[in-house]
């Protein structure tokens, strides 16, 4: 390529100049670097978001449990409830706003909390002998489906605790029975 010089407005200017911008190889290297960073960052972001949702759901479960315990102290028995509740249910009317200002209806994944009060708690997660003062609170986790293979063993309650080793562990249920965790991850919210 020859370079010719031209005088324009009293200045010497190159007639042919190298085009500005990136060549194809430079663009490919940039795309590969961005793709590698994306492959590393996105899974970590997904885990962090679900860990935050898990912690918040555990806190909401503990708040519901505290409100139920306070209600039992004042009334000696629990309102009837078996499963998902809503703003018009007897449980919601009994607890909100006196025992809890805003009773959480949904876990952080958008699924309804499940509460079983009194004898309705019998058979739920293998619990037996529930009286009028017993209750179970559950979140079915990220996928919203009840974990079918978990049953509470009162002789070995720690069997219900698990480690978050893989992303599918966020699908495991979070269960509290009478203010005590019977199904939860170890190391989260301890």
Residue 83 resides in a domain: yes
The distance in angstroms from the start CA to the end CA of the chain is 71
- Predicted confidence (pLDDT) per residue in 145-161, tens digit: 998 888 888 888 888 89
Bigger pLDDT: 26 vs 173: 173
**What DSSP assignment string belongs to 26-43?**
HHHHHHHHHHHHHHHHHH
Q: Is residue 9 part of a domain?
A: no
Query: Does residue 62 have a pLDDT over 60?
Result: yes
Compute the distance between CA of residue 85 and CA of residue 137 in angstroms, rounded to an integer. 11
Range of the domain at 141: 22-185
Is 2 a domain residue? no
Quickly state the pLDDT bin for 180 (edges 50, 70, 90): very high
Residue 17 lies in a domain: no
Helix residue ranges per DSSP H, 76-115 = 90-95
Is the predicted pLDDT of residue 189 greater than 80, yes or no?
no
For the chain, the domain total comes to 1
Strand 180-185 with 161-162, pairing: parallel
Question: Is residue 109 situated within a structural domain?
Answer: yes
Q: Does a structural domain hold residue 6?
A: no
- Asked whether residue 2 carries a pLDDT value surpassing 90, the answer given is no
If pLDDT is split at 50, 70 and 90, which confidence band does 174 have? very high
Confidence of residue 89 (pLDDT cuts 50, 70, 90): very high
**7 domain-assigned:** no
Q: Is 5 contained in some domain?
A: no
């Amino acid at each position: 390529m020859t370079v010719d010089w031209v005088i324009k407005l009293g200045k010497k200017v190159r007639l042919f100049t190298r085009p500005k911008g990136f060549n194809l190889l430079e663009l490919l290297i940039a795309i590969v670097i961005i793709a590698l960073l994306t492959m590393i960052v996105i899974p970590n972001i997904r885990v962090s978001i679900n860990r935050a949702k898990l912690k918040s759901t555990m806190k909401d479960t503990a708040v519901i449990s505290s409100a139920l315990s306070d209600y039992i102290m004042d009334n000696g028995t629990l309102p009837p409830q078996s499963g998902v509740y809503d703003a018009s249910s007897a449980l919601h009317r009994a607890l909100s706003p006196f025992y809890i200002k805003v009773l959480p209806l949904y876990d952080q994944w958008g699924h309804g909390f499940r509460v079983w009060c009194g004898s309705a708690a019998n058979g739920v997660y293998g619990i037996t002998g529930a009286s009028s003062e017993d209750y179970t609170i559950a979140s079915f986790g990220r996928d919203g489906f009840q974990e079918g293979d978990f049953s509470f063993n009162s002789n070995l309650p720690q069997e219900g605790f698990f480690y978050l080793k893989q992303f599918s562990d966020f699908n495991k249920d979070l269960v509290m029975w009478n203010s005590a965790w019977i199904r939860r991850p170890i190391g989260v919210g301890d």
